Amino acid sequence: MTCVRFAPSPTGNIHIGNARTAFFNFLFAKKNGGSFVLRFDDTDLERSREEYAQGIDTDLRWMGIAPDLIVRQSQRFALYDAAAQKLKGMGRLYPCYETADELDRRRKRQIARGAPPVYDRAALQLTDDDRAALEVQGRKAHWRFKLEERTMHWKDLVRGESRIEAGSLSDPVLIREDGTYLYTLPSVVDDIDLKITHVIRGEDHVTNTAVQIQLFEVLAGAAPIFGHHNLLTTASGEGLSKRSGALSIASLREAGIEPLAIAALATLTGSSDAVHPVASLEELGAAFDLSHVSRGAARFDEAELTTLSARTLHALPFATIAPRLTEAGVTGAKAESFWLAVRGNLEAFIDVRLWWHVVDQVVDPIIEDADFCNAALALLPQEPLDLQTWSHWTSAIKEQTGRKGKTLFHPLRLALTGRESGPELAQLLPLIGRPKAAARLSGRSS
């Protein structure tokens, strides 16, 4: 069965760029009847924070991404220790004692000679006595994975046929001097243990793939299928950072951005499919195809997200929005008519409270011309008011007063809503009802 994972480090808030990877994995899993694992890469115990882990889970669920399983690397060190011992026993993980300064000087000499700055495997020439002597000096070993010098091929879900010459790479450090693990080994061990079938991630991980395929082959016999998508950037091409807080999901939620707008923008930007509003993740997932993802830049404008959010809101049917309306206090028989009347004027969902207040609570009317409003009141039809009432009523007012256009409609809007602009009054008037409309035309709060 298809199984994918989203593996953030809980060292900050996730942003819309991280959401792109999360949605790619989630939609791929659901389209293929598979499962979605949320894995917290929290082996960095100093920088990882529980509040960030909880925040990431909250952000994902708010966007509609519900993990089938949640795991934490900080609880899985026994697996990594066992894998490290296996690699050491095979001679594929070997100790090195060079300091960072020594390695830097060595790289500079290689570059000066025109040679590639690749680790020269000098540590493999050390004898047991050499290693013992270095440890007596106080040096502690870091451990490198010995790569096989061959071409690594894979068929990438996004980039197609891909290859990296492993011989052009330095043997990667898997374990630091202090015994802590770098990203590579825990990630591979977890993917094996969790039976991950597809690794879908940003293109910044492409260079890791050759190393990881060899680790998969040594530890499990075969690697999963890889897909590397282009990264989401700002309109000016700047990258996104969790620590900067730029465009974090939490801040977008607080700003009233619709989660479906985030889903559409995060998923469709930088693909052959134009960014457009979607009514559900099911709709987005049905059209989702990794082969449509471009190899070019995936740039977006933050202003586009605000516009897309409003367009998404305008198109949401009552059945979808009803639970949120109830939470906002919009209840009763006229809730659906209210939603259909106001949704096209909303910039953010929170604005429904304002318009519900207009139709259901007390409003202080603005009387621009008392005589005109009194004349309009005298012509106001009796209940029931319907969608045709506004047209018939304003036609009668126009005929009696001679007013038309803004001089006719604007004073009525000010009196009935206390606001300069808003949804069509043809739809609002029946919701306001005759008693409130009459009171407001008379200048009374109602």
Taking the alpha carbons at both ends of the chain, their separation in whole angstroms is 61
In the predicted model, what is the mean pLDDT of residues 142-150? 97
In the predicted model, what is the mean pLDDT of residues 320-346? 97
- Do 189 and 219 contact (CB within 8 A), yes or no? yes
- The answer, yes or no, to whether residue 244 has pLDDT greater than 80, is no
What angle (nearest 5°) sits at the alpha carbon of residue 112, between those of residues 107 and 118? 30
For 159-198, the pLDDT digits (tens) are 999 999 999 999 999 999 999 999 999 999 999 999 999 9
pLDDT band of 148, cuts 50, 70, 90: very high
- The answer, yes or no, to whether residue 328 has pLDDT greater than 90, is yes
- The answer, yes or no, to whether residue 243 has pLDDT greater than 70, is no
CA distances from 101 to 196, 337, 432 (A): 38, 71, 76
For 344-357, the pLDDT digits (tens) are 999 999 999 999 99
Average pLDDT, the chain: 95
Residues in the chain: 446
Say what the pTM is: 0.91
Secondary element (H or E) of residue 145: strand 142-145
Residue type, 310: A
DSSP 72: E
In the predicted model, what is the mean pLDDT of residues 402-411? 96
In the predicted model, what is the mean pLDDT of residues 221-229? 97
Q: At what angle do helices 425-432 and 335-342 cross, to 10 degrees?
A: 150
Residue type, 256: G
For 80-96, the pLDDT digits (tens) are 999 999 999 999 999 99
Of 298 and 41, the one with more pLDDT: 41
Residue type, 124: L
In the predicted model, what is the mean pLDDT of residues 4-10? 97
- Do 184 and 215 contact (CB within 8 A), yes or no? yes
DSSP 170: P
In the predicted model, what is the mean pLDDT of residues 144-148? 98
